[in-house]
Amino acid sequence: MTEFGIYKDINLHYWDSLVEGHYTSEFYDVKGFIAGDSRLDTIELNEVGDVTGKSLLHMQCHFGLSSLSWARLGAEVTGVAFFRQFQSLPRRKSLKI
């Protein structure tokens, strides 16, 4: 394996180890999000403006709460994250969102 491959695997393992804990933590407040709260702050909303009908690519979206917040405001959002669990977590959890 190349040196890059080793570091990539370490990074993937690190983020995989955080996802479930972050999803259930008070910091991310997923229950509040499911109830309708946004994960966007005033600076983001003011700087980006109206996103209705616009396309948005959200790099490193973690498990997607900010991406889904933009979608709630009318954007067509593609979220990209760098860990394996991302592929199953949103599918499992999105039924609640």
Residue 25 pLDDT: 87
What radius of gyration do the chain's Cα atoms show?
Answer: 15
List, for residues 20-55, the tens digit of each pLDDT value.
Answer: 788 888 888 989 998 999 999 999 999 999 999 999
Residue 89 pLDDT: 56
Which tokens sit at 54? 């616009």
Distance between CA atoms of residues 64 and 33, nearest Å: 11
Average pLDDT value over all residues in the chain: 84
Residue 55 pLDDT: 97
Cβ proximity of 81 and 14 under 8 Å: no
The pTM score is 0.75
pLDDT, greater one: 73 or 16: 73
Which tokens sit at 18? 């955080």
